[in-house]
Chains A and B, each alone.
Chain A
């Protein structure tokens, strides 16, 4: 930018308040216009792929194989909801869509409950080994789930949990906990000590302090965690690929079988992928603040 020019201008006697030089203003405005244009193009770049998928999901098979989705601008009459109707009528796909809820909701609730309890103990109850335990949790943040796939598959086999929704949920809970505890502990320790001590002076039990003092204060953190965990589980493929069977598979795994003939069944895949995206996109748009906070905190996962 043209800071030097500005200073020179200011020394020139001008009437009225000191103004920025014409050249400086022009360059700044042009520069700004350029930045605006560049970022607008970048944003467009980010939107086009999603838009393409959406349009592809709204055109039938013959239209998709005959021409690209961008031709829709000249042939808007090709748009149809038939693919969605077909998909919803497809028993297996619809069941997998429901399964995704059956997996994501309990996996989220359990993680939030267990992590809140544990984080309270790690933050406000003194016990030997608290420091070590906290460090272990921090260490587990980046644990690759691959190390647990084979042993847990065996374990689930023994207990009859392999190929069940319960099994998938339990695995998600286990690998959701370290981050959940980490996030909530960070928040809980930030609660003013006086608040907790005052409650203890009044003779409140730990349970009561947890429920009446900590939880209400921690609502934003819990909201972030809930949304992050829900989307994390909703979007999973690998865990379900290993632990779910055909009847308990979420939508990502159910659609996987269609990948082999990508070119010819874009209509089905695009529709299925978009159906699976509707929930995350809605959650994201409604709760973006909490979600962004959750992702920033949970990025290490």
Chain B
């Protein structure tokens, strides 16, 4: 039962719609999923894997397979980012799990460069609905591709951290990493 050979043949035939694999990070084991269009999902350790994969099967395609080789590029870029050696991701984002205002808010968030931050109110305005501050917050809270779509760069007016799907300590760590604070190493 050579599953690696099976994955290779399935990929050669274009039969893998969603490939996923684990990626290590300074704050635990992440699961990353890609389609031919780009990275479609990044899940934190706390998220239940079965649920994450079932959602991909329901909303993208049931042809979901664990193929670590297909995630090599994403894994390398994330490693470099966590080590502070990478400021932007080359792997494109597949936004197909986002719709309506959430899509606009996430696209606007995607454009925030490394080391910069916005407030939820500013993000809502850039996404075209200045009054949709709460919806902008929800779009960030349920961001399917955190870190790459940098929702950690969106804060409360006045500088409060706001929330974060992976836990506030992770948001703090990412912001410290990007501001060059040595505390980024403190987590471990």
A is bound by B: no
